Amino acid sequence: MKLSARSTKSKLTSYSTAIVIAAFTAVIGALGFAIAANFGGATVFAQEPTGLIKTITPSTSNLSVNPGDRVSLSINVIGLQDVRDQSLGRDVTFNWSATGGDLPPNEDGNTTVRYKAPDSPGNYVVTVSTTSNCRGTCSTSFDIRVRRPGSTDTVVATPVNPPGEIPTVLSDADGNQYGVFTPEEGGTFTGDQFSITAKTGIVPNAEYIGVRMFENGSASNAGMSGHRYTLGGTKYSVAVIDGERNSVASYRLNATVEICIPVPIAMRSQISNVEMIATSDDGTDLTVLSSSVRVVPTLTICGNTSTLPVNVAAGIPGSPPMPEPTPGLEPALPVTGGAGPSSTGVLAWTILIGFALLATGMFAVYRRRRQTN
């Protein structure tokens, strides 16, 4: 049977169209493959160097110490990406100065120094700055308050208790018991390896207060990148109520009370570096207290403060560790369980399909021509 000329022409036109489409597909696939080969992840654009300091901030801006105390002062080094990176200060000399007290000589990478407070009570300022590798705020300061020693001979006025009967124990609305601290007797509250003690004359005259000290959870500050001390063990809180059994938010003493807590086992290998740290209620602010380690009867660290209430914990110099990242959801794989095809693989398949269509179209045209001859 022979096809009419019109039918043959229509068939040839259809096959020619198929060939053109197949060829176009193959060409597009080849071009895409070439582009992927030349630019697919191989080009890396240079970025502006980021190894510069944007600002420096104090790890603890306000400190209260005793005359002659030695404390560690540290700064946080913030890079251009607003991320703390202490390595940026490794080769930078920071210039430390103080209105009173002693500092070590300046040297490269001195982001932490050991400061000795002056012997005279008063308010002092320690300033640190740098002029190299810094594009922003290149200086910061620490406010140091040197207290008068917390001994009885520094209390000028003769201690006087308030008139009337003073209870031996106070209780708050929740039934918690408080030790009574008075001007004439001072006071003591003790627990399991922790205590707070006030000497005579430390409570202001004509007043008495209730003081309670208790364990208040873990002291860990992991993840607080702005801190320059790593806390450990248990956090201890000291609460205060007045004679009317009302909670006191802030109470200023004539001199310092002594607070003692156990040294955490994890810190005993660094016993010479352990210090007592006061923390804010939310744990964001740290204050280094004047403190010392005692071996007898148990290994404890004792610190001083003249303001109550307070939260305290043991700490050592150094940034706290970052918390373990929360595992994220794994990207879903195809239902076959295999890996999803890459863009280069898709282009390769496009080329193969294009050539297959081209070959099929050419074979069909060739066969049709043979049948019409």
At a CB cut-off of 8 Å and minimum separation 6, what does 174 contact? none
> Phi then psi for 201, rounded to 5 degrees?
90, -5
**Secondary-structure percent of the chain, ordered helix, strand, coil, rounded to 5:** 20, 35, 40
For 232-257, how does the pLDDT look when each residue is reduced to its tens digit (9 = 90+)? 999 999 999 999 898 888 888 988 89
Strand partners, 231: 315
CA torsion 145-150-152-158 (nearest 10°) is 50
For 49-68, how does the pLDDT look when each residue is reduced to its tens digit (9 = 90+)? 457 888 898 876 667 677 88
DSSP sequence for 5-37: HHHHHHHHHHHHHHHHHHHHHHHHHHHHHHHHH
Nearest-5° angle of CA 98, CA 101, CA 106?
Answer: 55
At a CB cut-off of 8 Å and minimum separation 6, what does 38 contact? none
Sign of CA dihedral 158, 163, 165, 167: negative
Cβ-count burial of 150 within 10 angstroms (0-12 exposed, 13-18 middle, 19+ buried)? buried
Question: Which of 306, 54, 290 has the alpha carbon at shortest distance from 198?
Answer: 306
Percent of residues, the chain, with pLDDT higher than 90:
33
CATH superfamily of domain region 52-147: Immunoglobulins (2.60.40.10)
Q: Which two tokens stand for residue 235?
A: 């956090």
pLDDT by residue for the chain (373 residues), tens only, comes to 454 555 555 555 555 555 555 556 555 555 555 555 554 444 444 444 457 888 898 876 667 677 888 877 888 888 887 777 888 888 888 999 999 999 988 877 788 888 888 999 889 999 999 888 888 888 999 888 887 765 433 444 689 999 999 999 999 989 999 999 999 999 999 999 999 999 999 999 999 999 999 999 999 998 887 788 899 999 999 999 999 898 888 888 988 899 999 999 999 999 989 999 999 887 878 888 888 898 877 899 999 998 899 999 999 998 888 766 655 555 555 555 555 555 556 556 666 676 666 666 666 666 666 666 5
Domain boundaries, the chain: 52-147
